[in-house]
Amino acid sequence: MMNLMEMISVLLAVVFFTSIALIYNRSAWNQRERLYDANSFVQATLLAHTVLDEVDAKLFSAQIKFVNIKNQYNTTRSMNLTHVGETYNLTITAVDADSTGVPLAVPDPDNIFTKVTVRVSASAGLKHTVSMSRLYTKTHLNT
């Protein structure tokens, strides 16, 4: 029969080894999550680029005018990527900005810069929201 000291020693050993097991398990899990996150990060940047390229393409072809960027690109999109097997959520914002991309505190009717920002999040994989911005300039081609 075990005495009290032996029982306590056994309990301590169990706690000790369980802690080590959990730490190892967590480390392995963290590494796998980072791999998943890295892959999702690349996909998220591509989605953000796609939206920003779409704005460029529509401005180039006069499908939208510069003044309409804010109307059409203050929105959200849910992108279900069949090939990748994930759904990404995009929050798109368009604001008047100065030439360095800083949003204007006071609206300026003669402003010629609009900053579009795309924030991409995912229900799984992506640990942090990916955010990308592009500054669009008013020209005689897009007015």
Partner 1 sequence: MSTLIDVLGAMVIGSMLMLMMITFQYQLRDTADAAIYMTGMVEEMQKASSKLNSIIALAGVGYTPTTTVAIADTNRLKFYTKWDYQNDRISSNPHTLEIKLATTATSLGRSLMITQDGVLLNDLGYLLWVDGLRFIYYTKTNTLTTAPAQVRSAELWLTFRHNAPKAGQKPLRTRLQQRCYFMNSYLQGA
Residue 15 interacts with partner 1 (CB under 8 A): yes or no = no
Distances (CA, A) of 30 to 23, 24, 25, 76, 85: 10, 10, 9, 30, 21
Q: What's the CA gap between 48 and 44, in Å, rounded?
A: 6
Instruction: Report residue 41 as tokens.
Output: 């990060």
- Would you say 85 or 107 has its CB closer to partner 1? 85
Residue 75 is given by DSSP the state: E
**Contact between 140 and partner 1 (CB under 8 A)?**
no
Question: For partner 1, which residue of 12, 15, 17, 87 counts as binding (CB under 8 A)?
Answer: 17
For partner 1, give the closer residue by CB, 81 or 102. Answer: 81
Residues 6+ apart with CB under 8 A from 116: 51, 52, 55, 69, 73, 92, 93, 94, 133, 134, 136
In the complex with partner 1, the residue whose CB is nearer, 81 or 135, is 81
Tell me which of 19, 31, 111, 139 binds partner 1, using CB under 8 A.
31
Q: Which of 57, 65, 45 is nearest to 131 (CA)?
A: 45
Cα–Cα distance for residue pair 81/101, rounded to 1 Å? 31
Among 5, 85, 109, 110, binds partner 1 (CB under 8 A): 85
Pick from 8, 11, 12, 38: which binds partner 1 (CB under 8 A)? 38
Tell which one of 35, 102, 104, 135 touches partner 1 (CB under 8 A): 35
Give residues in contact with partner 1 (CB under 8 A): 17, 20-21, 24-25, 27-28, 31-32, 34-35, 38-39, 41-43, 45-46, 49-50, 53-54, 56-58, 60-63, 81-85
